[in-house]
Structure 1
Amino acid sequence: MPFNTYLYHSLHKISIILLIFHPQSLVYKMLFKSKSQLKFQNLSFLCCFLFVNSFSGFSQSKFSGKEDLLSTPGQYTVVFNPAAPVVDGKLNDAVWQNVPWTEYFKDIEGDKKPAPTWNTRAKMTWDEKGLYIAAELLDPHVWAYLKNYDDIVFYDNDFEIFIDPDNDTHRYYEFEVNAQNTMFDLFMPKPYRNGSGAMIVYNAPGMKWAVDVQGTLNDPSDIDKGWTTEIFIPFSAMPFAKNQNAPVDGDFWRINFSRVEWDTEVKDGKYVKKKDANGKNLPEHNWVWSPQGVVNMHFPERWAYLFFSKKASGASETTFSIPYSEEQKKHLWHVYYLQKDYFQKNRSYATDLSKLGINDLDFSINGEDNKLWMEATSRQFMVYISSGDDVYIVNDEGLVQLLKQNRK
C-alpha cells in the first residue's frame, strides 16, 4: 500500500478512537454513562459503527463514479488466411468455417440495460492485403431505404465498424452499411467531443462490401431471418495505420462494431419509425460488440482490442495479452473524464489534481511503481503517468501519446 494511502487510513482509525474515548464525545457518554457498567445495547451500537467505518475507506473503487468508462474492453485474435473469402455477403466460404464469432452484441451501456431484442455477432480474418469482416444480424423485418453511396445510413438500421489503427483516439475510420448494401465511409481527425467534424469526402480505395438478405427486403407481409454482410478493408486504405502494407504478428488495433436498430411500425405497406407524443422519432437502439459504457461510439479508448495472429485459421489458438500500458492509461482517462466534468461545472479546468479529488499520485499497478502528475491551466491540461522510463500522456483533446519508451 502506498504511504499516502496508509497514512490516510491510519488517521481515519485514530479519529475513531478519539471519538470514542474523548470525555465530551457523545459516543463516550453513551458507553460509559456509568463507570461500573457498560450498556450492552450501546456496545452493540459501537461494534456496528466501527465495522461500517473500518471498511468505508476501502469500499470505493479507485475510479469511483467512472467504472463503466474504465472497465477493460473486449478482445479478439484475428487469424491469418492466405485464401481470401469471396465478398458476396453469404458467409459460406470455407475460409469462414473455422473462424470464431465474437460474443453476441450487448446494449451500448452494457448489462445495466436490457439485452438486445435480436442477436448480432461478427467474425474477422486477414491476409497480406487487408482485413475481412463478416457480420450476422438476425431480424424478422429487414428494411432499408437509403440507396446512394455516402448517404447517412444510420438513419436506417445498419451495421457499423470503427477502427483506430494506432490507438491514439485520433485519426480513425468509420464504415457503415445497411441492408440495401449502401456504404457510408468517413474519416475522423479526432472525436466529435474534441471539436472535430466527419470527413465524409474520404472514400476507402479498394474497399469491397456485399449484403445478403435471408428473406425479402422492405416487405412487411412476411417474416425474415435477417441479413449478413461481408466487408473487405485494404490496409492501404487506412494511411494512419502503423504499417500500411500489413500488420505483423502480435500487432493490435482498436476496433468496435455497432448495430443501429429503430423501432418501427407499418403504414401503407411501408416500415416507418415510431414516434413519441411530440411527433419525434423514438431514440434508436445501439447494440455493440464491446460495451462503451456511454451512449456514444466516438469514445475510441472504449473500443475492443484486435490482435493480429499470423497463425492460420484452424491452428492452435494464440493468446495475446493486453499491454501493461493500457492499465496505466486508465488512470490518464480517469483524470481526463474528471477534468471534463470539472470544466462543465466551472467553465475552466482544475489546475491541480487535488481539486479533482486525486491525492494518491504514487501507486502500484500490477506490482510496478507508477507516478501520476498533471500540467494544467484553466484552458488546457496534460496528464502524465510513468513507470520507469515509460511516459504516457493524454491532453485536453484526448490525444494519447508515448513520450519515451523503454518497455519491450
Structure 2
Amino acid sequence: MKWTIYLLLLLGVFSCAEVKNKKNSQASPVSYIKDAPTLDGRAIENYWNLLDWKPIDQNWIGGPFDHDDYNGRYKIAWNEDGLYLLLEIVDNTILDKTEDPLKLWWNDDCVIVYVDEDNSGGQHRFNHNAFTYHVALDGNVVDLGVDKKPTLYNDHITSKHQTEGNTTYWEMFVKVYPGIYNDDPNIKPVVLTENKKIGFALAYADNDNSEERENLIGSVFVAGENKNKGWIDANVFGTLQLVK
C-alpha cells in the first residue's frame, strides 16, 4: 500500500513538471492593439509594421523544400476579443481540389491554427482541451468535434487572403474558446486579458498537386521523429504571453 501511494505521488510530481515545462515552452510576448484590423488580406494598418515577423519554418511532415516552393512567416497581436494574425506565405502552387470541406481537408493547402486557451497542454483529439483549426482557402474552418466527426467552426475564425504572384497574405481573427467547450453554442469565447498565457502554434499544409499533402511546416520546434503531434497533443504548442 505504501509503495502504491509513493508511486502515485511520484507520477503526480512528473505530471506537474510536464505542465510547468509546457507553460514556459518557446514563450513569445504578444502585443496589444486597441483597434481591430480590417480583414481583407492587406496589411494596411500601421501597427502591423511595428510588429516583428515570426517564422513558420519547422518541417513537421515531408521532405526538403526550397525557398521558392515554400516560405512562411507571421505576425500576431491581441485585444479583449481575440487574436489577430497576419501571414505571408510564399507558395508556387496553391491547391484546393476537395470541394467538400469535411473530406480530406488536411490535404489541400491550408493554414492550421493550434490554440490551447489555458496553456495547460494535454490530449485533445476528440475534445476541446485545445483546438486544431484547419483554415481552408475558401474560408471554411474544420476540426474534429466531440462526436469524433469533422465539424465546421466557421464562427471561431474569420479569415481573408489575397495572392500576389507566388505570395499569399492572410489576415485572421481568432476567438479563443475555453477547454470546457463541447460544441454547445451557448459557451462563449473568453475575454482576453493582460499577462494571460495561451498555448499556440501555426502550420501550413503545402500540396503542389499530389494525392496527399507534401509538407506540413510549423512555427514551433517539436522534438523526436514524429513531429506531427499538435493535432492530438497540446504539449508541443508554444506559449503566447499577452502584454500591453
Check whether TM > 0.5: yes
Equivalence for 2:179: 240
Once the two structures are TM-superposed, the CA of residue 125 in structure 1 deviates from its matched residue by 0.8
Kindly tell me the number of residue pairs found equivalent between the two proteins.
204
CA distance in 2, matches of 1:104, 1:239: 26
Is the radius of gyration larger for structure 1 or structure 2?
A: 1
Equivalence for 1:256: 201
Q: Which runs of 5+ in 2 are unaligned?
A: 1-21, 182-187
Correspondence for 1:122 among 70, 74, 93:
74
Q: Which amino acid aligns with 2:46?
A: A
TM-score norm. by structure 1 comes to 0.44
Q: Is the 2:77–2:84 contact (alpha carbons within 8 Å) kept by the matching residues of 1?
A: yes
- Share of identical aligned residues, percent? 15
1:255-292 deviation line (CA, Å, top 9, x unaligned): 11111112x4xxxxxxx32xxxxxxx466211111022
Correspondence for 2:121 among 162, 168, 188:
168
Once the two structures are TM-superposed, the CA of residue 124 in structure 1 deviates from its matched residue by 0.9
Structure 1 residues 188 and 164, CA gap change in structure 2 (3 angstroms): farther
Correspondence for 1:156 among 102, 108, 124:
108
Equivalence for 1:79: 31
> Where do 1:8-407 residues align within 5 Å?
73-108=25-60, 114=64, 117=67, 118-147=70-99, 149-150=101-102, 152-166=104-118, 167-169=120-122, 170=124, 171-178=129-136, 180-187=137-144, 198-201=148-151, 203-205=153-155, 207-214=157-164, 224-235=165-176, 238-240=177-179, 244-262=189-207, 264=208, 272-273=209-210, 281=211, 284-293=214-223, 294-296=226-228, 297=230, 298-309=232-243, 311=244
Structure 1 residues 146 and 98, CA gap change in structure 2 (3 angstroms): farther
For CA contacts below 8 A with separation 6 or more, give which structure has more relative contact order. Answer: 2
Q: Which amino acid aligns with 2:161?
A: V
Q: Which amino acid aligns with 1:135?
A: L
Q: Which amino acid aligns with 2:138?
A: N
Q: Which amino acid aligns with 1:260?
A: A
Structure 1 residues 143 and 304, CA gap change in structure 2 (3 angstroms): same
1:320-350 deviation line (CA, Å, top 9, x unaligned): xxxxxxxxxxxxxxxxxxxxxxxxxxxxxxx
TM-score norm. by structure 2 comes to 0.71
Which structure shows the higher helix fraction? 1
CA distance in 1, matches of 2:82, 2:155: 12
Q: Which runs of 5+ in 1 are unaligned?
A: 1-69, 190-196, 215-223, 265-271, 274-280, 312-408
Once the two structures are TM-superposed, the CA of residue 205 in structure 1 deviates from its matched residue by 3.0
CA distance in 2, matches of 1:85, 1:165: 22
Q: Is the 1:144–1:156 contact (alpha carbons within 8 Å) kept by the matching residues of 2?
A: yes
Report the RMSD for the aligned CA atoms in angstroms: 3.0
Once the two structures are TM-superposed, the CA of residue 240 in structure 1 deviates from its matched residue by 2.5
Q: Is the 2:79–2:192 contact (alpha carbons within 8 Å) kept by the matching residues of 1?
A: no
Q: Which amino acid aligns with 1:174?
A: T
CA distance in 2, matches of 1:248, 1:182: 28
CA distance in 2, matches of 1:205, 1:164: 17
Once the two structures are TM-superposed, the CA of residue 145 in structure 1 deviates from its matched residue by 2.9
Which structure shows the higher strand fraction? 2
CA distance in 2, matches of 1:204, 1:288: 22
Equivalence for 2:9: none
